[in-house]
Structure 1
Amino acid sequence: MKDRDYYLSLRRRYEPEQLKLVIVAESPPASGLYFYDPVGKVSEPLFAAFMQQIAFAPSNKEEGLVQLRQRGWLLVDATYEQVDKREGRDETILRDFPLLCDDLVRLSPDKTVPLILIKVNVCRLLGPKLLTEGFKVANQGREIYFPSHGNQPKFHQQFSDALQSVV
């Protein structure tokens, strides 16, 4: 199993110089298809959803990741432990909340970069806690579904609504 440092090393290659938006997701998936793995497929659900959001059709994942970096968007995970196929996912996310806060403060020391939380449990668990910590959470209590299993249209509407509040 890959550890936090492995995932962060992949992500850091695509961290924008001018950060404009941080998207907080749940965790790297148990499938092994990590968002910031440039040799992955452009058809991966979350990656494909973001490409649709920015109206960009990359020929490979590297192109899309570079495009997101140029736009100032960064995806971070609430935990870097693969919890999507496990019991106790919420407990793990809450346990790793201090690590998430440290990561977000490193990215935005003044906490002014807006956050959009995706996946219902992440929105429910972390939205209020991040607001209490002084972060700018664009969801404002609204849930955003993960873009898979038929939830793609809902994701796009919910994400677009949250995005409108930060532009």
Structure 2
Amino acid sequence: MAWFVIKAKAGRQFKAVDEFEQAQINAYCPTMRKEVRHHQSKKWIEKRFPLFTGYFFGDLLHEDFDRVHTMKHVSSILYDTRPDGSLVSIPAMEIKAWRDAQERGEFDVLRPPPVATLSPGYRFKINEGPLAGHYGSVTSMAGKRAVKAIIEAISNREVEIRIGSIQPVAA
């Protein structure tokens, strides 16, 4: 089985993925979480957006292609522009890497966490500075604007990090 790129009808990626699951075909739509301010209440809310707007991935067998073309929320299966017109496929390892990155919250665009939520054990990703891209866990507070934390890449060393440069990740 191979993962193929599938174009959903406008704004219907999530419905198309549901349609695939109802047909018992594996599908995956990489998403990001983003905090946006509600236009009326002005409260911060968390929304989910597709990472590749208009597209998702399906783990298709040869006999699934006819069913996919008749689905309500699917526009087409992506073909290559080469003369042979082969389908665009994605290696399973790449799909797994995207799933793992999504679980870690690497695609998320979230505000820095409120100081009140930063208790020992709180897991985060560093966004800026020499440790950017690394993950850590809070050990204690270091004032109002920084935390002391253990960084996963340098496990036994506690460092101080500004709260503004950290991003929450899924536990």
TM bracket (short chain): under 0.3
Structure with more contact order per residue of length (Cα contacts < 8 Å, sep ≥ 6)? 1
Q: Which has the higher helix share?
A: 1
Per the normalisation by structure 2, the TM-score is 0.25
Larger radius of gyration: 2
